[in-house]
């Protein structure tokens, strides 16, 4: 079932965060401005092709727009990961070479532990795929 409230709130939020007006969104999504207005006023559900265009213009996913995914979408994830990765890299660079080697060993240990846990979970679920 289509959730008008979630769609409307997310559409408004994304318009604001992308600094777009309803008119600009309509033009880029190739629909009438009145159509966007109807979506915002909860009077109309977008067709699938229009929903896809709106998501592309707003640099998000259709799942986010309709409330199926809490993550803002495709554009946000790479930027967040790049920033986190860069910040972590800067911190590591400040460590001595000896501390960097210790950190690498620790990370390797965590990864082995995680793989082991994943293997155990798969075995408990009926074996490896």
Evaluate whether residue 85 is within a structural domain: no
Contact present, 80 and 90 (Cβ < 8 Å): no
Examine the domain organization and report whether 10 and 56 are in the same domain.
yes
Residue 83: pLDDT band with limits 50, 70, 90: low
Residue 55 burial (CB count, 10 A): 21
- What percentage of the chain has pLDDT greater than the value 90? 46
Q: Which range marks the domain in which residue 112 is found? A: 95-129
Q: Which residue has the higher pLDDT, 49 or 43?
A: 49
What value does the mean pLDDT of the chain take? 84
Task: State residue 81's pLDDT score.
Answer: 57
Closest by CA to 74, choosing from 85, 63, 88, is 63
Asked if the structure places residue 89 within a domain, the reply is no
**28 with 63, same domain?**
yes
83 domain-assigned: no
pLDDT band at 129 (very low <50, low <70, confident <90, very high): very low
pTM higher than 0.75 for the full model?
no
Taking phi over 0 as left and psi of -120 to 50 as alpha, with beta for the rest, 90 belongs to: alpha
């Amino acid at each position: 079932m289509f959730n008008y409230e979630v769609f409307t709130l997310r559409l408004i939020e994304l318009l604001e965060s992308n600094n777009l007006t309803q008119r600009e969104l309509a033009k880029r999504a190739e629909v009438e401005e009145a159509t966007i207005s109807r979506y915002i006023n909860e009077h109309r559900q977008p067709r699938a092709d229009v929903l896809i265009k709106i998501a592309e213009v707003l640099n998000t996913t259709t799942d986010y727009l309709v409330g199926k995914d809490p993550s803002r979408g495709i554009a946000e994830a790479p930027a967040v990961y790049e920033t986190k990765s860069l910040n972590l890299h800067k911190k590591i660079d400040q460590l001595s070479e000896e501390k960097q080697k210790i950190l690498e060993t620790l990370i390797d240990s965590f990864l082995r532990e995680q793989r082991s846990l994943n293997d155990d979970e798969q075995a408990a679920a009926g074996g490896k795929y």
